[in-house]
């Protein structure tokens, strides 16, 4: 490798550009090739040589080393020279078959009028791949090459992206926790009014059959009055556990007021079954509840309406009807369960 690209008598001599001293092209374009008129490599830039460390590139035909992928060219130096100044997409023929961008300029003709060429190559977008396959350093690139800046940016942006991903994950976690909190009754852990409204609206929207039960504790005020609010809270928590125990996983149990609860039973319209649940709830809640040395006694009154009572069920109407049925239960002396009686039935 004699650096034939340079020197006063070199092929680049003459014309408007003064001749370059020897080795100049190695600095300006460390990935260049000088080809003779037969298309054989007479010189390869230092970085290009690093891609094939065990091999001597000089003396080998360009077409044996590289495959021109685009544009498709017939074999031979003449076809290559025709592409002077245009962008070529190359690939090394042996492994690793790194993709390269290239541009070619013809050299001044020799005495016989035959032309060689200088081909400058670059990794282009496959630089990431190239860095995996070859051991390259900053000084393997021309000082003006933007490759290093591109690598810097890629790496910096990836780090920033990771930070954003972390932040998003944390925010997502916080959002789920906040939503759960927004839909939970903090004293009992049951769903709250807002959550119940959502579930009820969803059932109606989906057109699913369901039962809506409004439940109110009996004698709860007496517990509060005689044993204090701490006892009252304890009873509410106890009741909440009992309601969850006595219902199915798909049912919704919500505390919507002080001692008021709404239970939603999807796909349940059988009155006998609902009546059975109601009687079980009364039996369960009437068991004395211990708070310290105090014995607290409550029961419950319930009113239920069914989605099948309505041509087009509405949340507010169903809640009001269940409440009316609950009121009827209270009037019957408490610890009772009533179904709402639609007008057609009431007649």
Partner 1 sequence: MHGLINRSIECFLRDTYGVGLWADVALRADLPGTSFEAMLSYEDALTWRVLEAAEALLKKPRAVLLEDVGTYLVSHANNEGLRRLLRFAGVGYEDFLHSLDDLPDRARLAVGDLMIPPLELSQQGDGRFVLRCGPGMPGFGHALIGVLRAMADDYGALVMLDHLGSRRGIETIEIRLVERAFTEGREFELGARTG
Interface with partner 1 (CB under 8 A): 128, 130-132, 135-139, 148-149, 151-153, 155-160, 162-164, 166-167, 170
Q: Which long-range contacts (CB under 8 A, 24 or more apart) does 85-93 make?
A: 90/66, 90/121, 91/66, 91/67, 92/51, 92/52, 92/65, 92/66, 92/67, 93/64, 93/65, 93/66, 93/67
Per the CB < 8 A criterion, the answer to whether 262 and 199 are in contact is no
Distance in Å, CB of 88 to partner 1, minimum: 25
Nearer to partner 1, 134 or 310 (CB): 134
Nearer to partner 1, 108 or 176 (CB): 176
Q: Hey, how many other C-beta atoms are within 10 angstroms of the C-beta on 281?
A: 24
Q: Hey, how many other C-beta atoms are within 10 angstroms of the C-beta on 92?
A: 18
User: Containing H/E element for 262?
Assistant: strand 260-266
Distance in Å, CB of 154 to partner 1, minimum: 8
Distance in Å, CB of 92 to partner 1, minimum: 17
Distance in Å, CB of 53 to partner 1, minimum: 16
CA distances in angstroms from 85 to 71, 82, 88, 104, 113, listed in the order given: 13, 9, 9, 6, 20
Pairing of strands 299-306, 337-339: parallel
Nearer to partner 1, 167 or 283 (CB): 167
Distance in Å, CB of 164 to partner 1, minimum: 6
Distance in Å, CB of 11 to partner 1, minimum: 31
Largest CA distance in the chain: 122
- Tokens 């070529």 locate to 88
Q: Which residues pair with 90 in a beta bridge?
A: 68, 100
User: Containing H/E element for 168?
Assistant: helix 147-182
Nearer to partner 1, 86 or 139 (CB): 139
Nearer to partner 1, 30 or 303 (CB): 30
Nearer to partner 1, 135 or 293 (CB): 135
Distance in Å, CB of 67 to partner 1, minimum: 24
Distance in Å, CB of 161 to partner 1, minimum: 10
Nearer to partner 1, 130 or 231 (CB): 130
Nearer to partner 1, 75 or 160 (CB): 160
Choose among 316, 223, 330: nearest CA to 262: 316
What distance in Å separates the CA atoms of residue 267 and residue 250, rounded to the nearest whole number?
10
User: Containing H/E element for 92?
Assistant: strand 88-92
What distance in Å separates the CA atoms of residue 53 and residue 139, rounded to the nearest whole number?
17
Nearer to partner 1, 128 or 250 (CB): 128
CA 238 to chain centre: 41
Distance in Å, CB of 195 to partner 1, minimum: 27
């Amino acid at each position: 490798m004699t650096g034939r690209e340079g020197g006063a008598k070199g092929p680049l001599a003459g014309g408007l550009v003064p001749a370059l001293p020897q080795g100049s092209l190695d600095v300006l374009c460390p990935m260049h090739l000088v080809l003779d008129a037969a298309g054989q490599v007479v010189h390869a830039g230092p970085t290009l040589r690093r891609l094939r460390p065990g091999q001597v590139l000089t003396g080998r035909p360009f077409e044996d080393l590289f495959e021109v992928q685009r544009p498709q060219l017939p074999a031979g130096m003449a076809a290559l020279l025709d592409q002077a100044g245009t962008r070529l997409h190359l690939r090394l023929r042996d492994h690793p078959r790194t993709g390269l961008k290239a541009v070619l300029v013809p050299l001044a003709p020799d005495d016989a009028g035959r032309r060689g060429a200088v081909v400058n190559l670059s990794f282009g977008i496959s630089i990431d791949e190239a860095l995996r396959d070859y051991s390259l350093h900053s000084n393997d690139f021309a000082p003006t090459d933007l490759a290093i800046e591109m690598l810097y940016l890629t790496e910096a942006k990836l780090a920033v992206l990771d930070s954003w991903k972390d932040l998003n994950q944390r925010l997502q976690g916080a959002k789920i926790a906040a939503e759960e909190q927004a839909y939970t009754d903090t004293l009992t852990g049951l769903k709250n009014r807002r959550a119940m409204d959502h579930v009820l609206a969803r059932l109606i929207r989906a057109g699913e059959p369901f039962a809506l039960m409004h439940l109110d504790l009996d004698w709860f005020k007496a517990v509060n009055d005689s044993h204090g609010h701490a006892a009252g809270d304890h009873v509410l928590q106890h009741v909440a556990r009992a309601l969850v125990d006595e219902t199915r996983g798909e049912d919704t149990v919500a505390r919507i007021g002080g001692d008021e609860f709404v239970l939603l039973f999807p796909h349940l319209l059988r009155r006998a079954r609902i009546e059975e649940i109601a009687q079980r709830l009364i039996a369960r809640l009437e068991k004395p509840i211990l708070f310290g040395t105090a014995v607290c006694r409550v029961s419950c009154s319930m009113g239920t309406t069914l989605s099948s009572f309505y041509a087009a069920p509405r949340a507010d109407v169903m809640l009001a009807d269940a409440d009316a049925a609950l009121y009827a239960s209270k009037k019957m002396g408490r610890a009772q369960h009533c179904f709402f009686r639609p007008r057609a039935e009431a007649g």
